Amino acid sequence: MELEKRGVVAPLLVTSTFLPLVEAQAKARRVSPRVVVVPHPVGGLNEQELAERIEVAAGALLPLADEARGSA
Amino acid sequence: MSTDWDVAVVGAGVAGLSAARVAAGAGLRVVAYDRMAPGGQLVNLTSVHDHPAPGETADSAGLVSRLVAEAEAAGVVMAFDEVTRVRSGTPVRLEAGAGAVTAQVVVVATGLGPGRLGLPGEEELVGRGISTCAGCDGPLFRGRAVAVVGDDEWTAEEALELAEVASAVTVLVPGEPRWDADRARRLAAAERVEVLPGVRVTALRGEGVLAAVVVETAGGPRELAVEGLFTYVGRRGPAGLVEEVPADAAGRLPAEGLGAAAGTVLVAGDARSGAVQSVAAAIVDGTAAGEAAVAARRAAAGPAPGGSASAAGPWLRVVDPTYGVPADEADGAVPEGGGADWTEVALFSNSKPNATELLRGVGDRLQEHWGLAELGFASKPNASAAADKDVIDWLAQRYKVVLVAVGD
Q: Is B34 a catalytic residue?
A: no
Cis bond before residue B52 (omega within 30° of 0): yes
Shared domain check, B241 and B227? no
Q: Is B6 a catalytic residue?
A: no
Residue range A32-53: mean pLDDT, rounded: 86
Shared domain check, B95 and B63? yes
Residue B386 with chain A: CB contacts under 8 Å: none
Domain boundaries, given as residue ranges, for chain A: 2-70
Shared domain check, B225 and B206? yes
Shared domain check, B150 and B12? no
Q: Is residue B318 part of a domain?
A: no
Between the ranges B198-212, B300-314, B367-381, where is the mean pLDDT highest? Answer: B198-212
Q: Is B320 a catalytic residue?
A: no
Shared domain check, B355 and B207? no
Q: Is residue B322 part of a domain?
A: no
Q: Which residue of A has its CA nearest to B361?
A: A54
Shared domain check, B155 and B227? yes
Shared domain check, B128 and B224? yes
- The beta-carbon neighbor of B358 closest among A10, A13, A17 is A13
Shared domain check, B202 and B145? yes
Question: Which of B202, B231, B260 delimits the end of a domain?
Answer: B231
Q: Provide the terminal-to-terminal Cα distance of chain B, rounded to the nearest Å.
A: 33
Q: Is residue B140 part of a domain?
A: yes
Q: Is residue B191 part of a domain?
A: yes
Q: What is the pLDDT of residues B295-319, one digit of tens each?
A: 988 888 766 555 444 333 333 333 3
B306 shares contact with chain A (CB less than 8 Å):
no
State which residues form the domain around B194.
Answer: 122-231
Q: Is B369's CB within 8 Å of A65's CB?
A: yes
Lowest mean per-residue pLDDT among B47-61, B131-145, B323-337: B323-337
Q: Is residue B323 part of a domain?
A: no
Question: Which of B231, B248, B268 delimits the end of a domain?
Answer: B231
Shared domain check, B279 and B380? no
Q: Taking 50 as the threshold, does the pLDDT of residue B32 lie above it?
A: yes
- Give the CA radius of gyration of chain B: 24
Q: Is B358's CB within 8 Å of A2's CB?
A: no
Give the pLDDT band of residue B294 (cuts 50, 70, 90). Answer: very high
Q: What is the pLDDT of residues B84-140, one digit of tens each?
A: 999 988 899 999 988 999 999 999 999 998 899 999 999 999 888 999 888 778 888
Q: How far apart are CA B258 and CA A6, in angstroms?
A: 42
Tally of structural domains, chain B: 3
Q: Is A44's CB within 8 Å of B353's CB?
A: yes
